[in-house]
Amino acid sequence: MPQFRTPSAIPGFGLTYGFVWLYLSIIILIPLGAVVLWAASLGPAKLVAILTRPDTFSALRLSFGLSLLAAGVNAVFGLIVAWVLTRYSFPGRRFFDAAVDLPFALPTAVAGIALTAIYAQNGWVGSLFAPGSLWASVFGPLKIAYTPLGIFVALVFIGLPFVVRTLQPVLVDLDKELEEASATLGARRPTTLFKVILPTLAPALLTGFALAFARAVGEYGSVIFIAGNIPGVSEIAPLLIITRLEQFDYGGATAIATAMLALSFVILLLVNFTEAWSRKRLGHVR
Amino acid sequence: MSADTLAVAPSAGTVAPVRLPSPVTESPVAKAVLIALAVGFLAFFLLLPLAAVFVEAFRKGVGAYLESFEDPDTLSAVWLTVVVALIAVPLNIVFGLAASWAIAKFEFKGKSFLLSLIDLPFSVSPVVSGMCYVLLFGANGVLGPWLAKHDLQIIFALPGLVLATIFVTFPFVARELIPLMQEQGTSEEEAALSLGAGGFRTFWSVTLPNVRWALLYGVLLCNARAMGEFGAVSVVSGHLRGLTNTIPLQVEILYNDYNFVAAFAVASVLAGLGLVTLAIKTGLEWRYGDQISAAHRH
Amino acid sequence: MELKIRNLRKEYGNFPALNGVNLDIRSGELIALLGPSGSGKTTLLRAIAGLEMPDGGQIFFGERDASRQSVQQRHVGFVFQHYALFKHMKVLDNIAFGMRYGQGRRKSEAQIRQKVLELLDLVQLNGLEGRYPSQLSGGQRQRVALARALAIEPQVLLLDEPFGALDAQVRKGLRRWLRQIHDETGHTTVFVTHDQEEAMELSDRVAVLHKGGLQQVGTPDEIYDNPATPFVYAFIGDSTSLPVDLRNGEAVFEGRALRISRVDSPDGPGRLHIRPQDVTLTAPSDGVVHGKIIGLRRSGGYRRADISVGVKHDRVEALLPPEQEVSVGDEVGLDFRRYAAFAEDREPPKLGLARKAA
């Protein structure tokens, strides 16, 4: 019969292992159990009924749509930022490298009010697009804060480090010989970038995209101030959960949370699947 | 690119080298454009908001800035935040050490399940984390009636704040320690044990010194997040002024009261905490990068 | 394609990687660049390919000055030490890469496929065109890398430590096979190695490098039998040396002329280099020097004798047939069948000069 644990001379397994499970039970397992209990008590019919309510549905659509969009923008610019930070040397490189962590370092509420101040109609950026600006006289005024566009900006802000920090170690380890091989075979630099380097980075880029996306879907603090929270227009799913809880509608809150968890789970599963597939295919060849 | 089409006049008899660009980098123009794009993007999306915090905080001068901290509600928010962090962070340190000891020093079934459980808070929305406790302990929650009968309050009180904070911050210490301790293996501990040291002595004199920088790194990140957490805490706090508001929640209240200078002044303290954390963290990475471990994702 | 390298220089910071190298590589020959790590052999190979930009000097492909061409234009087949196969591409696409994206004349997909299959046949990997590199063994990857380099019909084939990452058994097989491919295709081939056995066995000529300078170029026989510099003596095969004074073409050891001739180094202090198999033992009264056996070890089909010579107890090693009756403590005379004397010079000469004019 296979053993649960490989015997070891080192003491303390029982104590630490037991403590870890006790801690995890109190902090996450029992509370998550409560969610499962509530979700189960709703039943499928009621769950669908809640989720297809126009306000719920549009909030979920908004959260997921904007998160995908923001993660996409982050994938592109995160790739450029990671590439520049690992490949080129220029004055201030280390400073900008450290700055990538700002969205992790700044509490979300702080980022939220700062972004709102910048993108409001009288803010540094917002005023450039407000009525009376040069932009407005050519294209018409553009409102950023208190619209889905503002939410998008906040989601880009919080998602960027996920892509950059996922790509950087891969870029550092990237075998220079691959690029040289491509060059000796006659390929010009752009061909090398798109046919050799980009496909090699693809799995890491996908992981970074997924992490940024997952973070964006659940993000609350940095979005809530800039969103404006107009029901059906700029109300995000996490805010709707809070609203339901404040109305003591625990069932409604649970339904939205379940939908968010399930959709994120499906997307992460897809990404993990693709990643595992490509890893298996690419193997660890030098 | 231009490398291939370099027009070079034949120079009679000289052996002056022709400087061809390196085959494994971009042309100077492409390089400059990419650097400009990256720096521009970072400055616009990341540095601008940071600058805005301090500019807005000092918009009405240093006097107004300092005045913001005389508000008793703000002071009690600062106090509450410190108390929550003082409870949550040490508990998470103990958890992190226990988890990394069990996971890194032993082989057992279900290890990867345990690891993904520890990662869970990173993939759950903070709002959903807070919601769990409301569903369990709230007035209409599973244990709500029982708690009410015994006059115990968890939600809208300190215990709820602490629980929600622990939920979102407990992985930080463990996540820094586990990969490092796995890398270090068990031979040093086995040597200490064979020399007659007890289990706790071995941990204290052998294991802990080996992971001290990673531990500090994890504690820093854990503390910064604990003091700055907004979403999860917001759900369980109830926003009772002077009673259950932490600093980020106080920022929200001041902001919604249109008291912008005070909101940004209080926010600047959190931003300052974040910047100090970031600076120490960056310093640790430069100085002790090899002793912190390879994995630096958050 | 004939290659001429003229006064090639390259420095990394203050460290000279190439020290004014002149080398002619004949059309169709298989030449090894041999040297210890840091000798500049890889830098030279990469400079030929255009992957490394020299600080001075020229490289001619035939009559054309290739130092003015980018790596893409040079059209060299380069096989990397770790193969550098594109992991996300199948074997077919790896080999087709240069034909699809290179600077040569465009081919149709059918022509490309045809060529890939021919090359796979040449490197004996028929049927593996649909595999990914991760599904191949080390030796197979090596062959794919070679096929990929050959696919662009290169002017010259360059291989960087081609067998360095393979285990000993596979290496021997591939060595013979590479020689065969070379003879079939007739490409001018340059390969880098630090393994003297590999260089000697595989190549038409060997170029020995040390500290960024060329020490000697010659056939394996020339290199082994007539080393041009003390470094080549020490690096290729075994050798021991004695401190001598060089006077008028005569080597003088501890005041006694050694009655051996053909010493053409300048007068002054010098060293006499001898290979162990070139030492024969005679009666103590005969021989050019006499010494005492202080150690005997069995080494393969031979016995190695450690012999102490002269008042300073200099050591000379001799390789003896096992049936020769000697024992530790014997007084013996030593004759040298082959030897070379070089002026005392801590740094070996910059260029391969010395005995035979290089």
Cα C178–chain centre separation: 16
Q: Which residues of C touch B6 (CB under 8 A)?
A: 68, 70
The answer to whether B56 and A99 are in contact (CB under 8 A) is: no
Given a cut of 90, whether residue B21 has pLDDT beyond it is no
Chain-chain contact of C73 with B15 (C-beta, under 8 angstroms): no
Cα B203–chain centre separation: 26
B29 and B73: one domain? no
Given a cut of 70, whether residue C346 has pLDDT beyond it is no
A-interface mutation test, from C88, C90, C140, most A Cβ less than 10 A away: C88
- State the pLDDT at residue B228: 94
Q: Does B46 touch chain C (CB under 8 A)?
A: no
Domains of chain A: 51-280 (1.10.3720.10)
What's the DSSP call for residue B16? Answer: P
Q: How far apart are CA A35 and CA A41, in angstroms?
A: 10
- State the pLDDT at residue A4: 81
B39 and B96: one domain? no
When pLDDT is averaged across residues C11-15 and rounded to a whole number, the result is: 85
Given a cut of 80, whether residue B137 has pLDDT beyond it is yes
- State the pLDDT at residue C104: 80
* Identity of the amino acid at B33: V
- State the pLDDT at residue B23: 79
Given a cut of 70, whether residue C173 has pLDDT beyond it is yes
Q: How far apart are CA A235 and CA A25, in angstroms?
A: 33
Sorted by sequence, the CB contacts under 8 Å of residue C120 that are 6+ apart come out as C91, C95, C126, C127, C128, C129, C147
| Phi, psi for residue C295 in degrees, rounded to 5 | -165, 150
Nearest-CA distance A196 → chain C (Å): 7
What superfamily does domain C239-343 belong to in CATH?
A: Nucleic acid-binding proteins (2.40.50.140)
Give the pLDDT band (50/70/90) at residue B1: very low
* Identity of the amino acid at B215: L
Q: Which residues of B touch A156 (CB under 8 A)?
A: 45
> In terms of C-beta density within 10 A (0-12 exposed, 13-18 middle, 19 or more buried), how is residue B49 classed?
buried
When pLDDT is averaged across residues A22-46 and rounded to a whole number, the result is: 91
- The CATH class for the domain spanning C3-225 reads alpha beta
Nearest-CA distance A20 → chain C (Å): 39
B41 and B147: one domain? no
Given a cut of 70, whether residue B272 has pLDDT beyond it is yes
Given a cut of 60, whether residue A284 has pLDDT beyond it is no
Given a cut of 70, whether residue B294 has pLDDT beyond it is no
Chain-chain contact of A185 with C97 (C-beta, under 8 angstroms): yes
B38 and B107: one domain? no
A-interface mutation test, from C42, C48, C80, C156, most A Cβ less than 10 A away: C80
- State the pLDDT at residue C264: 64
When pLDDT is averaged across residues A144-169 and rounded to a whole number, the result is: 95
- State the pLDDT at residue B16: 52
Q: How far apart are CA C337 and CA C263, in angstroms?
A: 14
> In terms of C-beta density within 10 A (0-12 exposed, 13-18 middle, 19 or more buried), how is residue C183 classed?
exposed
The answer to whether C72 and B23 are in contact (CB under 8 A) is: yes
Q: From A264, A208, A200, A196, select the one nearest A60 (Cα to Cα).
A: A264
Given a cut of 50, whether residue A286 has pLDDT beyond it is no
Percent of chain B at pLDDT above 70?
91
Given a cut of 80, whether residue C249 has pLDDT beyond it is no
Given a cut of 50, whether residue B297 has pLDDT beyond it is no
The sheet with strand C314-320 has its strands ordered as C279-282, C331-336, C289-299, C302-309, C314-320
When pLDDT is averaged across residues C190-205 and rounded to a whole number, the result is: 93
Q: How far apart are CA C127 and CA A53, in angstroms?
A: 58
Q: From B58, B74, B66, B51, select the one nearest B260 (Cα to Cα).
A: B58
Given a cut of 70, whether residue C94 has pLDDT beyond it is yes
Given a cut of 80, whether residue A2 has pLDDT beyond it is no
* Identity of the amino acid at C255: G
Average pLDDT along chain B? 88
Given a cut of 50, whether residue C93 has pLDDT beyond it is yes
- Number of domains composing chain B: 2
Q: From C75, C67, C51, C73, select the one nearest C4 (Cα to Cα).
A: C67
| Angle at the Cα of C328 from the Cα atoms of C327 and C333, rounded to 5 degrees | 80
Listed in order, the ranges of chain C carrying CATH 2.40.50.140 are 239-343
Query: What pLDDT, in 10s, does the model give residues A53-94?
Result: 998 999 999 999 999 999 999 999 999 999 999 999 999 999
Instruction: Give the chain C residue whose CA is nearest to the CA of A176.
Output: C84
| Phi, psi for residue C269 in degrees, rounded to 5 | -65, 145
B135 and B169: one domain? yes
DSSP per residue, A47-62? HHHHHTSHHHHHHHHH
Q: Which residues of B touch A214 (CB under 8 A)?
A: 123
What's the DSSP call for residue A5? Answer: B
Q: How far apart are CA A159 and CA A102, in angstroms?
A: 11
Instruction: Give the chain B residue whose CA is nearest to the CA of A13.
Output: B102
When pLDDT is averaged across residues A164-175 and rounded to a whole number, the result is: 92
| Phi, psi for residue B155 in degrees, rounded to 5 | -70, 145
Give the pLDDT band (50/70/90) at residue A125: very high
Query: What pLDDT, in 10s, does the model give residues C102-152?
Result: 988 889 999 999 999 999 999 999 999 999 999 999 899 999 999 999 999
| Angle at the Cα of C56 from the Cα atoms of C54 and C59, rounded to 5 degrees | 70
Sorted by sequence, the CB contacts under 8 Å of residue C172 that are 6+ apart come out as none
- State the pLDDT at residue B14: 43
Nearest-CA distance A71 → chain B (Å): 14
Among A135-149, A253-267, C97-111, C137-151, name the one with the lowest average pLDDT.
A253-267
Identify the CATH number of the domain in which residue B249 sits: 1.10.3720.10
- State the pLDDT at residue C229: 85
Q: How far apart are CA B5 and CA C245, in angstroms?
A: 59
Instruction: Give the chain B residue whose CA is nearest to the CA of C68.
Output: B18
When pLDDT is averaged across residues B67-95 and rounded to a whole number, the result is: 95
Chain-chain contact of C70 with B15 (C-beta, under 8 angstroms): no
SS3 labels along chain C: CCEEEEEEEEEECCEEEEEEEEEEECCCCEEEEECCCCCCHHHHHHHHHCCCCCCEEEEEECCEEHHHCCHHHHCEEEECCCCCCCCCCCHHHHHHHHHHHCCCCCCCHHHHHHHHHHHHHHCCCCCCCCCCHHHCCHHHHHHHHHHHHHHCCCCEEEEECCCCCCCHHHHHHHHHHHHHHHHHHCCEEEEEECCHHHHHHHCCEEEEEECCEEEEEECHHHHHHCCCCHHHHHHCCCCEEEEEEEECCEEEECCEECCCCCCCCCCEEEEEEECHHHEEEECCCCCCEEEEEEEEEEECCEEEEEEEECCCCEEEEEEECCCCCCCCCCEEEEEECCCEEEECCCCCCCCCCCCCCC
Given a cut of 70, whether residue B85 has pLDDT beyond it is yes
The sheet with strand C3-12 has its strands ordered as C15-25, C3-12, C56-61, C64-65
Average pLDDT along chain C? 87
A103 half-sphere exposure, CB direction, 13 A CA radius? 29
* Identity of the amino acid at C186: G
Among B147-161, C77-91, C202-216, C249-263, name the one with the lowest average pLDDT.
C249-263
- State the pLDDT at residue B18: 58
Among B12-16, C18-22, C187-191, name the one with the lowest average pLDDT.
B12-16
Q: How far apart are CA B254 and CA B203, in angstroms?
A: 47
Instruction: Give me the domain span that covers residue B91.
Output: 61-292
Give A6 or B128, the one with higher predicted confidence. Answer: B128
Tally of residues, chain B: 298
- State the pLDDT at residue C261: 58
Given a cut of 60, whether residue A223 has pLDDT beyond it is yes
Q: How far apart are CA B59 and CA B61, in angstroms?
A: 6
Gyration radius from chain B CA atoms: 26
- State the pLDDT at residue C350: 34
C-interface mutation test, from A184, A189, A196, most C Cβ less than 10 A away: A184
B173 and B109: one domain? yes
When pLDDT is averaged across residues A13-35 and rounded to a whole number, the result is: 93
- State the pLDDT at residue A285: 38
Among C97-106, C250-259, C346-355, name the one with the lowest average pLDDT.
C346-355
Q: How far apart are CA A193 and CA A187, in angstroms?
A: 10
- State the pLDDT at residue C32: 96
B44 and B129: one domain? no
ipTM of this complex: 0.90
DSSP per residue, A108-148? HHHHHHHHHHHHSTTSTTHHHHSTTSHHHHHH-----TTSH
- State the pLDDT at residue C265: 67
Average pLDDT along chain A? 90
Q: Hey, is B108 helix, strand or coil?
A: strand
B205 and B225: one domain? yes
B38 and B177: one domain? no
Q: Which residues of B touch A176 (CB under 8 A)?
A: 24
B242 and B155: one domain? yes
Nearest-CA distance A173 → chain C (Å): 13
B48-77 residues touching A, CB cutoff 8 A: 48-50, 52-53, 56
Q: From B23, B17, B12, select the one nearest C66 (Cα to Cα).
A: B17
- State the pLDDT at residue A70: 97
Q: Does B147 touch chain A (CB under 8 A)?
A: no
When pLDDT is averaged across residues A40-53 and rounded to a whole number, the result is: 90
Q: How far apart are CA B87 and CA C250, in angstroms?
A: 90
The encoded tokens of residue B46 equal 């990341």
The answer to whether A74 and A160 are in contact (CB under 8 A) is: yes
C-interface mutation test, from A170, A185, A285, most C Cβ less than 10 A away: A185
Chain-chain contact of B50 with A114 (C-beta, under 8 angstroms): yes
Q: How far apart are CA A109 and CA A131, in angstroms?
A: 28
Q: Does B29 touch chain C (CB under 8 A)?
A: no
Q: How far apart are CA A182 and CA A185, in angstroms?
A: 5
Cα torsion C36, C38, C40, C45: sign: positive
Residue in B193, B230, B281 nearest the CB of A108: B230
When pLDDT is averaged across residues C260-285 and rounded to a whole number, the result is: 80
- State the pLDDT at residue C313: 85
B44 and B152: one domain? no
Q: How far apart are CA B173 and CA B217, in angstroms?
A: 8
Q: How far apart are CA A26 and CA A20, in angstroms?
A: 10
Give B36 or C260, the one with higher predicted confidence. Answer: B36
- State the pLDDT at residue B219: 95
Given a cut of 90, whether residue C246 has pLDDT beyond it is no
Instruction: Give the chain B residue whose CA is nearest to the CA of C9.
Output: B17
The answer to whether A28 and B121 are in contact (CB under 8 A) is: yes
Given a cut of 50, whether residue C348 has pLDDT beyond it is no
> In terms of C-beta density within 10 A (0-12 exposed, 13-18 middle, 19 or more buried), how is residue A199 classed?
middle
Instruction: Give the chain A residue whose CA is nearest to the CA of B271.
Output: A106
Q: From A217, A38, A240, A30, select the one nearest B235 (Cα to Cα).
A: A240
Query: What pLDDT, in 10s, does the model give residues B160-204?
Result: 999 999 999 999 999 999 989 988 889 999 999 999 998 899 999
Tally of residues, chain A: 286
Q: Does C105 touch chain A (CB under 8 A)?
A: no
Gyration radius from chain C CA atoms: 25
Residue in B97, B108, B125 nearest the CB of A4: B108
The answer to whether A228 and B109 are in contact (CB under 8 A) is: no
B50 and B121: one domain? no
Last residue of a domain, one of B35, B57, B79: B57
Listed in order, the ranges of chain C carrying CATH 3.40.50.300 are 3-225
Query: What pLDDT, in 10s, does the model give residues A179-216?
Result: 999 999 999 999 999 999 999 999 899 989 998 999 99
